[in-house]
Amino acid sequence: MKNKVPVNLNIMAIDIGLNYLGACTTTKHDHFLLDGHLLKSWSFFYLKKVHELEKINPQSKRIYKYKQKNLAYINQYIFKVSSYLKRYCKKNRIHTIIIGKIPTKKIKKNNLFFDMDYDYQNVNSYIMSCMYYETIDMAKKNNISVVFIDESHTSSCSFYDDEWLIYKHKKGRVCRGRFKTFDGHNVHADINASLNFFRKNEKCEQLLDFEKAKERMLLHPRKVFFPDNNQKKS
């Protein structure tokens, strides 16, 4: 997929994360967050169970069972998120998605069991990798162009204040999820980073109304949840 942007079309930027699997902003000024707290919570639950069993009996068959359950839940959850994005893109006529490029190869599903340590950091990396590649695959299947950008400095610089996207200390990041502008406005940090994606591509930048985007980012973004009432912790 080439980094070409069709003119006069709706464009969406997605900042991949963990607590929020995606912070999405569009040229139509719709800002929303794809919630990932439930997925993170379940993964932590399975990790805790596996570590408890490993202390008692490292050869226990239940260890593989919990890993398998964790993998299945991750895939199910990511599929739900991808399906929502597919419906959203179709309804809102999204023709281009901007996404930060991850300089790693695609992680195979069985790597969660055999090729990497089953710990908190690696499972979180696996979740973000799945979200990244699932979004790209969804775009390919639905004829949506994908623009890959270098996401460096997008989270540390203020979109609202038109800061240059260069290295700086994250003074604006008051805490996780909150970014403070120069004049004291509190905005969502992931939405700030997502809007900065537009500034990384000249053609995308021209299609975004910066004044309207700044007004919209001062409001709370809507959150999209993916509940699973059938899941039981056992």
- Mind listing the pLDDT tens digit for each residue in 65-79? 998 899 999 999 999
Strands 222-224 and 31-35: parallel
pLDDT of residue 223: 95
> For the CA atoms of the chain, what is the radius of gyration?
19
pLDDT of residue 96: 96
- Select the highest-mean-pLDDT range: 47-51, 82-86, 183-187: 82-86
Q: Rounded to the nearest 5 degrees, what angle is found at the Cα of 131, between the Cα atoms of 72 and 16?
A: 145
Give the CA distances from residue 24 to residues 67, 195, 234, in Å, rounded to whole numbers and listed in that order.
30, 8, 34
Which range among 21-30, 159-168, 170-179 shows the weakest confidence by mean pLDDT? 170-179
Q: Tell me what the mean pLDDT of segment 73-96 comes to.
A: 95
Percent of the chain scoring above 70 in pLDDT: 85
Say yes or no to pLDDT of 1 above 50: no
Q: Tell me what the mean pLDDT of segment 95-105 comes to.
A: 85
Tell me which of 39 and 122 has the higher pLDDT: 39
pTM: 0.89
Tell me which of 34 and 109 has the higher pLDDT: 34
Cβ atoms of 197 and 101 within 8 Å: the answer is no
Give the CA distances from residue 11 to residues 15, 128, 147, in Å, rounded to whole numbers and listed in that order.
14, 22, 10
| pLDDT tens-digit readout, 44-64 | 999 999 999 999 998 899 998
Cβ atoms of 112 and 118 within 8 Å: the answer is yes
Mean of per-residue pLDDT scores for the chain: 87
What is the DSSP secondary-structure string of 188-209?
Answer: EHHHHHHHHHHHTSHHHHHTS-
CA dist., res. 133 & res. 182, Å (int) = 35
Nearest to 21 by CA among 67, 71, 74: 74
Q: Rounded to the nearest 5 degrees, what angle is found at the Cα of 177, between the Cα atoms of 172 and 224?
A: 145
CA dist., res. 170 & res. 141, Å (int) = 37
pLDDT of residue 132: 94
